[in-house]
Amino acid sequence: MNEETGLRERKKRRTREALSRTAIELFLERGFDQVSVAEVAAVAEVSKPTLFRYFPAKEDLVLHGIADHQGEAARVVRARAPRQSPLEALRSHFHARLDAHDPITGLCDNPAVLAFRDLIYSTPGLVARLTLYSAQDQRELSGALREVEATDEVTAGLAAAQIIAVQQILAYDNWQRLAAGHSADAALPAAHADAERAYDLLGTGLASQGL
């Protein structure tokens, strides 16, 4: 990548982030369904066609940050240490993300993150888009498991579905702890314990398949 291309890409990234930030501020203030794409474009001082070049759908204005996590489980499996099983790599990764209070684990009590989560889960269209992301994550993880362990398609698909479901349940339980008034730091030990138990249960079923 030459310098000119690098500058162009950085400018695009800054524009993309600014558009998303403007949209989220408006959605938090007035509600996702009460703000049109045209209004977002006007406040951001870009044309509507320009906005759609960066974000093909209104939902993408909100979820592009979450989309960065798409395929993360598959990437963890492919990048795991030698002789480390896919499940152990995913277990270690989840524990590390808990320690970092990554919002994807549900254990982040930053007020802006909590408001963002409330926006998503109070908007059916955004929840529906998250469901599509989850299905894509399962497909990508299934593909990674087939690649690295020569696992058959059905076994890999079932394993991927269980792993993604466990991660979602753990994240939901962590959000519930925060909603009950616990801080992320106070909830961390219980979150680690639940994650350990969940991955142990997964391991009981998947170890016989070499995963």
pLDDT tens for 52-108 read 999 999 999 999 888 778 899 999 999 999 999 999 999 999 999 999 999 999 999
Given a cut of 60, whether residue 1 has pLDDT beyond it is: no
Helix residue ranges per DSSP H, 31-106: 37-44, 48-54, 58-67, 72-78, 86-99
pLDDT the model gives residue 211: 58
Q: Which residues of the chain does CATH 1.10.10.60 include?
A: 3-60
SS3 state at 68: coil
Amino acid at residue number 168: Q
For residue 31, CA distances in Å to 4, 35, 138 come to: 39, 7, 30
Give the span between the Cα atoms of 139 and 133, in whole angstroms: 10
* CATH homologous superfamily for the domain 3-60: Homeodomain-like (1.10.10.60)
* pTM given for the model: 0.86
